[in-house]
Amino acid sequence: METQSLATLEEIRNAAQEIDQTWQTMDQRYNKLRAMEEGPLKAAIALKYSKELKTYLEFIDASPLAQQKRRTYEVYRYALDVYNRATKRADIFLNYCKEVRSNWETERLRLIEAERREKESQANLLVAQQRQAEVDHLKKIGKPAEAELVAAAPIIPVTVTVDQDAGKPEGESLVPVWVPKCDERGEIEFSDLTAFLVWVAGTPAHHHLVKPQYGPLKKLLTANRGIVQPPGLVVEKKFEARTLREVRDE
What pLDDT is recorded for position 248?
47
Report the candidate in 175, 161, 156 with the shortest Cα–Cα distance to residue 239. 175
What pLDDT is recorded for position 141?
92
73 Cβ neighbours under 8 A, 6+ residues apart: none
- Identify residue 220 by its one-letter amino acid code: L
**Distance of alpha carbon 169 from alpha carbon 71, whole angstroms:** 50
| Average of per-residue pLDDT values in the chain | 88
78 Cβ neighbours under 8 A, 6+ residues apart: 1
Predicted confidence band at 101 (pLDDT cuts at 50, 70, 90)?
A: very high
Query: Averaged over 105-115, what is the pLDDT?
Result: 95
Report the percentage of the chain scoring pLDDT > 70. 94
Give the orientation angle of helix 144-152 with respect to helix 64-140, to 10 degrees. 170
Q: Report helix, strand or coil for 148.
A: helix
Residue 10 has pLDDT above 80, yes or no: no
Residue 3 has pLDDT above 50, yes or no: no
**Distance of alpha carbon 139 from alpha carbon 148, whole angstroms:** 9
pLDDT in tens, 139-191: 999 999 999 999 999 988 889 889 989 998 888 889 999 999 999 888 999 99
Full-model pTM? 0.62
What pLDDT is recorded for position 213?
93
Q: For residue 128, what is the enclosing H or E element?
A: helix 64-140
